[in-house]
Structure 1
């Protein structure tokens, strides 16, 4: 797994992919935080305007990072060589996923100066901010796992990207009040609440408030494990063929 992780991470740092992602992510999150979120107008020493846009930005940019994980291997024919390596399928899947997750973690780390700035301007709840960062990292892992799974299902990167964005959007939008009210009116409040528990937004919102909920951590870890499990099954199907 370590060798796969290093190989994949090296492919990120030796190509423009990681640098473009980090640059566009930092620009986008800055634009939404300050221009759309009204960071300064709120006159509050917190990062709520910053974290509020993470699900929507991750939903688009992280599938762009993960779409190449398996689709590019299939397109270039390198997957045939990869399948002959004396490594179990789970090691291949996990190594690639962790490399992509490292890129996402690096992008998040580059926003730390914003956290420092908030502390200079006021006295924020740093425990809540730290919790939100951890939740954001877990959420990034969930979106990447979805993208990796889709990448393993098709050799076309664009198709993998579109499928990953679609699934990510559905899982995110389930937590929107508008969507929940719609289902509540048709199926009842109980069904609406049950659907909300499957929403990425629902679990991330709790972390934004500084609330550490075991069920939210379990949700993200389970979603990552489930998607990577299907990812491994898709790779095994190629191997068996």
Structure 2
């Protein structure tokens, strides 16, 4: 609370801005460790073949693992609600901004989990899966953002749109823009489709 509440005591404003920022970076490093063994461990042990012989579709396998990981994140975020209540009691807080901030964390987590799930499906090594997921996260977080500042016009706008922090920061300011929602949904869906594609290859290999 002392760390997350620093924005209240230093800027004299009831806000969860610092909390959302720190939660984002916590998830940035935690989610790769959460997803690194979702499929890589089964690939290594050979149980993936047993799983694929059961009467379930590839999509059901992928969605089951994806939703289980996302549910864990949602539960963890729900446990922070007492902090929100405490901050709200200290002053007037923008509830709309709080809602969009939590939504941004959930959507970012969903996107990142889908990427981690795919990386877990392409390797038998958990550490490699972790590093691959983290590398993709750094690419979306840092590389696109840095490149966008070096280009102007259409290319600059495209690179800025691809940077995940552009959309996360927009939502944590209390703005729920369809462009941000579409961004998270597209990349989440893309990660899930790639994961299913890897399972299809293993099923018919």
TM-score if structure 2 supplies the norm length?
0.94
- Of 193, 196, 204, which residue of structure 1 is paired with 2:168? 204
Write the deviation string for residues 2-21 of structure 1: whole angstroms up to 9, x where unpaired: xxxxxxxxxxxxxxxxxxxx
Instruction: Measure, in 2, the Cα distance between the counterparts of 1:53 and 1:173.
Output: 16
Long gaps (5+) in structure 1:
1-29
Match of 1:49 in 2: 18
Instruction: Measure, in 2, the Cα distance between the counterparts of 1:31 and 1:161.
Output: 30
Match of 2:178 in 1: 214
- Deviation of 1:33 after TM superposition, in Å, equals 2.8
Structure number with higher relative contact order (C-alpha < 8 Å, ≥ 6 residues apart): 2
Write the deviation string for residues 180-212 of structure 1: whole angstroms up to 9, x where unpaired: 32x22xxx3432221010111111111111111
Instruction: Measure, in 2, the Cα distance between the counterparts of 1:142 and 1:77.
Output: 27
Long gaps (5+) in structure 2:
none
Answer whether contact 2:148 2:155 (CA < 8 A) is retained: no
Instruction: Measure, in 1, the Cα distance between the counterparts of 2:58 and 2:73.
Output: 23
Match of 1:134 in 2: 103
Match of 2:154 in 1: 190
Count of equivalent residues: 205
SS of equivalent to 1:165: helix
Answer whether contact 1:32 1:53 (CA < 8 A) is retained: no
Q: Kindly indicate whether residue 148 of structure 2 is the aligned counterpart of residue 180 of structure 1.
A: yes
Answer whether contact 1:64 1:161 (CA < 8 A) is retained: yes
TM-score if structure 1 supplies the norm length?
0.80
- Deviation of 1:172 after TM superposition, in Å, equals 1.4
Instruction: Measure, in 2, the Cα distance between the counterparts of 1:91 and 1:115.
Output: 35
Match of 1:106 in 2: 75
- Of 17, 27, 31, which residue of structure 2 is paired with 1:58? 27
Give me the CA root mean square deviation. Answer: 1.7
Query: Closer, same or farther in 2 for the Cα pair 1:31/1:168, shift >3 Å?
Result: farther
